[in-house]
Amino acid sequence: MKTLLTLAILIGATLALSACNPPTPSPRALTPVTVQLRWTHTAQFAGMYAAAQNGYYAAEGLAVKFIPGGASVDLYKSALDGTAQFGMHGGDALIAARAGGKPVKALAVIYRRSPVVFIALAESGIRQPKDFVGKTVSTGGGSGRLSLLSMVARVGIRADQFNQVPLISDLKPFYAREVDVISGFLFDQPLTARRDGYAVHLIYPDDYGVHFYADTLFATDDFIAKNPELVLRFLRATLKGWTYAIENPGTVGALVQSYEPKADAAFENQKMEASIPLVNTGEDHIGWMKPEVWAGMEKTLRDQGVLTQPLDVTQVYTTEFLEEIYK
């Protein structure tokens, strides 16, 4: 009888403890999300790496992976065929894509100032676009060439007044003065040249009224319409990640190495430092987009003959998610 009483007491105590300590709920399943990057793993995508490594995506219920890009990668294909949910491209490229029938729409701009700069050796005496006359200028296609032609036109220089050659991937011809001016990215070639011991002068298209949005997050119209909450969560975590990267640039090298172990951590930190003014312009919020900049890009594309089709440029972007995040 005593044994039965003891057993009953033990059972009652166990039930009471169970009631006080309900089972720990299993973690919610994370929704997989894929992002098509513009380039290979580098500090250029530091904010997204920070959002992934610091748990910001997970806190929004997302498990995010990244597909490296590159010069030969179709940056729209993965979003259009559903392999990726988000992609990155330049604002001018998105305008041209939309005009060409691709249903892609910008959600936020990371590089709100273009990283495209024109670089001359300090000893050359080249200080402004007017100094390009009679010189050899190396530039690629896309926004680099558009920036060049738009910039020189604004100061009254014709394209036939200087020699244009394809973009060089090796800086040795530049160091040897075989090429007078090269186009590059603020966080890349200028840092490399200085690391190699060369003083350089930078000429910014922005200083001459040529304003292009660079790295811009986009998704397809269909995906945005069907998954507005997911888009909101992804953007919220991404912008938080970029805030972290801006406030902690010295940690970016290690973040990049999580995806590209061979990366030079110190150099990636320098890239992040150089790109901070492109992301955090001091004008308004990180990621914010201005209608007048989109309209200006469209005009530049039309002026240069790149855009000939009719287009409502307001359909190329939406600020609804940024407004929700920053309200």
pLDDT, one tens digit per residue, over 55-73 is 999 999 999 999 999 888 9
pLDDT of residue 142: 78
Within-domain flag for 256:
yes
> Which residues form the domain of 264?
31-113+213-326
Q: Do 202 and 223 have their domain in common?
A: no
**27: confidence class by pLDDT, cuts 50, 70, 90:** low
Q: Over pLDDT 90: what percentage of the chain?
A: 83
Q: Do 136 and 188 have their domain in common?
A: yes
pLDDT, one tens digit per residue, over 226-284 is 999 999 999 999 999 999 999 999 999 999 999 999 999 999 999 999 999 999 998 89
End of a domain among 208, 240, 269? 208
From its phi and psi, is residue 98 left (phi > 0), alpha (psi between -120 and 50) or beta? alpha
pLDDT of residue 302: 93
The CATH number that applies at residue 67 is 3.40.190.10
Within-domain flag for 15:
no
Q: Do 91 and 69 have their domain in common?
A: yes
Q: Do 61 and 162 have their domain in common?
A: no
Q: Do 233 and 320 have their domain in common?
A: yes
End of a domain among 179, 208, 237? 208
End of a domain among 174, 208, 242? 208
Lowest mean pLDDT among 1-10, 86-95, 306-315: 1-10
Within-domain flag for 277:
yes
**169: confidence class by pLDDT, cuts 50, 70, 90:** confident
Within-domain flag for 9:
no
Within-domain flag for 5:
no
Within-domain flag for 275:
yes
Lowest mean pLDDT among 23-37, 59-73, 88-102: 23-37
Measured in degrees and rounded to the nearest 5, phi and psi for residue 88 equal: -135, 140
Q: Do 257 and 297 have their domain in common?
A: yes
Overall average pLDDT of the 312-317 stretch: 97
212 has pLDDT over 80: yes
Q: Do 220 and 312 have their domain in common?
A: yes
Domain count, the chain: 2
**11: confidence class by pLDDT, cuts 50, 70, 90:** very low
Q: Over pLDDT 70: what percentage of the chain?
A: 92
Q: Do 107 and 184 have their domain in common?
A: no
Q: Do 140 and 263 have their domain in common?
A: no
Within-domain flag for 8:
no
Within-domain flag for 309:
yes
